[in-house]
Amino acid sequence: MPHVSVDLDVCEDHAQCVFAAPTVFRMNDDDRLEYDAEYDEDLRFDVQAAADSCPVQAIKLLD
Amino acid sequence: MTDRRTIDLDHHSQEYADSYHQVADELRGSGCPVAWSEHHGGFWVTPGHADVARVARDDDYFTQDHERREDGGGLGQGVQRPPGPVRTLPIESHSPFTQFIRQLCGPAFSPAGAKQFEPRFLEMVTECLDAVIETGRVDFSEDLAAITTVRATMELIGLPADRLPLYAKVSHESSYLAPGQPGFDEAMAGIGEIQSDVIGLVSERKKNPGEGGLIDRLLVGDVRGRQLSEDEVVGVLMSLILGGGDTTATLTLQTLRWLHHNPEHRARLLTDDAYFATATEEFLRVFTPNVQIFRVATQDTELSGQPVRRGESVMMWWAAANRDPAVFADPYEVRLDRREANRHLSFGNGTHRCLGQHIARMEFRTMVREVLRRMPDYQIDESAVDRYHTVKTIDGLMHLPAVFTPGSREGGRPAAAAAAAAAVA
């Protein structure tokens, strides 16, 4: 399965990714980002959209 | 041009406003969905979700930068056709500049920022509803949505509240008045007045910085050695003022209208947070407030097999993509519990995905729920509903009048809301 990585030192919890790829990225009860490093191949469109929309460009797609 | 199918589609026409979903479906069913319109300098039209999503996020092949020069050079024409009079940012820019501005805008636009602002927004809604609650009559547009959404943006920026009547009127009217229509010149003059305010405020804050609010961040922020000019900061603020009002107002109004015809959904939306959140995405999909904006190809490419040449414009038809049956089963059906990841494009896609989406959802939720709570039996007067005659960008409602069983005030200061309502009326 493909992988994604978020630099949580850079992340500012804008949550743009959460709505672009809701099954991969989510906000916890403290409004901080959590995510699954592995995702299904058919979610690539969503994960790419999440990476594109990140205001601080903290999301990297890895294969 | 023989290599292209042409279609008589003018997005500024009343005919388009009345039939754009039908036109999109006809294109989809024709087996040749990508067509060329000669209107407004010419542009490609495609109703497919895959095409629209790709154009929006493929920065290597498309741009929405606004770089048209007086000598006619420059490829980017911004997001409107014909191009708008001023460059708004970051929507009319290209990465990495786009990302730079988004980074500067900062935490106010995060879910935590929206949550922090929610109590203040609720006060604004309370004030508006208090002004009409004892009368049993409301116009959800001019008494509520057209005011609170603009007022919220003004406060986030730090603009004085006494200008609310002008801003609310101009923001609303500039969304639906097309060149040549009565009131258009006045609305454009109003935009000029707002821009003067903003230029004055930015210039003042440049000399006397505040306490780290949005304008200060934009003015002093330094990301990778680059700072915004005062003109660019004005461009960002203008885009927030003009983009943060009628979009959210339209979503709210179309939803309240739908809930008039489907009242059985009111109770659960009022009490079930998770259901409301899922339903919000479906309302965003079916009502798609921003119907279309444009990009231009920066290299030769193709869409669904149709060659597109460098310099040609493409309409990003959000509303059509959101009813693509290849992505949404029974796309005309409003299913508030639509469970599959709702890949609607109502906030755009790619580097320009709406920065204000969390604030928009918070404002929408607050307005709809306060109406459902305080006016639970409201009935829309359908005979007096007034829809925008054309769809410059937004498919909204000028008036959405309703009656309800009168209730009691809950606090707030009614004077400012009443003055703003009088200005929008």
List, in order of start, the domains of chain A with CATH numbers.
3-62 (3.30.70.20)
Mean pLDDT of B119-139: 97
Question: Phi first, then psi: what are they for B138, rounded to 5°?
Answer: -150, 145
Contacts of A21 in chain B (CB under 8 A): 341
Query: For A46, which residue in chain B has the nearest alpha carbon?
Result: B343
Please give the Cα distance from A24 to A36 (Å, whole number).
5
Q: What is the pLDDT of residue A12?
A: 86
Pick from A12, A23, A53: CB nearest B351? A53
The B401-403 sheet, strands edge to edge? B137-139, B401-403, B379-380
Provide the token pair at B47.
């109703």
Q: What is the pLDDT of residue B175?
A: 85
Please give the Cα distance from B147 to A44 (Å, whole number).
40
Closest CA to B114 of A15, A57, A53: A15
Compute the nearest-CA separation of B374 from chain A (Å): 29
Q: What is the pLDDT of residue B73?
A: 60
Contacts of B347 in chain A (CB under 8 A): 19
Pick from B53, B57, B109: CB nearest A14? B109
With 70 as the cut, is the pLDDT of residue B420 above it?
A: no
At A8-19, the pLDDT tens digits run 998 988 888 998
Please give the Cα distance from B210 to B410 (Å, whole number).
33
Q: Which domains does chain B have, with CATH numbers?
A: 14-424 (1.10.630.10)
Mean pLDDT of B45-63: 95
**B310-323 burial by CB neighbour count: b if 16+ within 10 A, else e?**
eebbbbbbbbbbbb
Lowest mean pLDDT among B62-76, B100-114, B340-354: B62-76
Mean pLDDT of B143-169: 94
Contacts of B53 in chain A (CB under 8 A): 45, 49
Contact B405, B290 (CB under 8 A): no
Name B27's Cβ contacts closer than 8 Å, sequence gap at least 6. Answer: B7, B33, B34, B35, B45, B46, B47
Tell me whether B355 touches chain A (CB under 8 Å): yes
Please give the Cα distance from B400 to B141 (Å, whole number).
6
Mean pLDDT of B323-331: 95
Q: Are strands B313-316 and B43-46 parallel, antiparallel or unpaired?
A: parallel
Mean pLDDT of B245-273: 97
Is A19 close to B347, i.e. CB distance below 8 A? yes
At B9-47, the pLDDT tens digits run 999 999 999 999 999 999 999 988 999 999 999 999 999
Please give the Cα distance from B151 to B413 (Å, whole number).
14
Mean pLDDT of B277-303: 97
Mean pLDDT of B130-157: 96
CA distances from B139 to B48, B147, B217, B245, B382 (A): 36, 11, 37, 16, 12
Q: Which carries the bigger pLDDT value, residue B221 or residue B397? A: B397
With 60 as the cut, is the pLDDT of residue B398 above it?
A: yes
Residue to test with chain A: of B99, B117, B359, most A Cβ within 10 A:
B99
Q: What percent of chain A has pLDDT over 70?
A: 100
Strands (E), chain A: 3-6, 25-27, 33-35, 59-62
Instruction: Identify the helix (H) or strand (E) that includes residue B45.
Output: strand B43-46
For chain A, the residues whose C-beta falls within 8 A of a C-beta of chain B are 12-16, 18-23, 27, 31, 45-46, 48-49, 52-53, 55-57
Q: What is the pLDDT of residue B407?
A: 97
Please give the Cα distance from B97 to B103 (Å, whole number).
10
Pick from A13, A49, A55: CB nearest B103? A55
Strands (E), B270-422: 293-297, 301-303, 306-308, 313-316, 379-380, 386-387, 397-399, 401-403
Q: Are strands B397-399 and B386-387 parallel, antiparallel or unpaired?
A: antiparallel
Please give the Cα distance from B341 to B131 (Å, whole number).
40
